[in-house]
Amino acid sequence: MSDAGDAGSVVKRGDDIAYGPVEAAGGLSKGVLLDGSDGAPTFAMRRFELEPGAEVPRHTNAIEHEQYVLAGEYVVGIGDEERTVSAGDTLLIPPGVEHWYRNERDEPGAFICAVPNGDDAIELVE
């Protein structure tokens, strides 16, 4: 349950966030922590979980992504580079840049992703 506070603030309990699968990527689930529906005027904050063995295909987004790795260790490809990331790492993925994810470990990975509110065009790269 979310609680509206003074001056439009919102507090949500982690247990109240609903997670659902991301269609383009088996083994990836997403929960929206905050967005415009909560009164957030500028950014949406989402939490993703990447199951062991999961892969997110190469794709681009029309908007920037800022990410903070919460748990696990997984590979992120950005442009022409692949990097292994783990808890505490941060990433900036500029708009239009190809990126992908691969979890080669036995434990799930999790990250927070902040994006501007509004429409996003996602394009899979073959």
The greatest distance separating any two alpha carbons of the chain, rounded to the nearest whole angstrom, comes to 48
- What SS3 class is residue 36? helix
- Average pLDDT (100-107) is 97
pLDDT in tens, 106-120: 999 999 999 999 888
Q: What is the pLDDT of residue 1?
A: 46
Spatial contact of 99 and 113, defined as CB atoms under 8 Å apart: no
Round to whole Å and give the CA distance between 26 and 57: 10
| Residues facing 77 on adjacent strands | 82, 100
Residue with tokens 């990250």: 111
pLDDT in tens, 2-48: 555 567 799 999 999 999 999 888 899 999 999 999 999 999 999 99
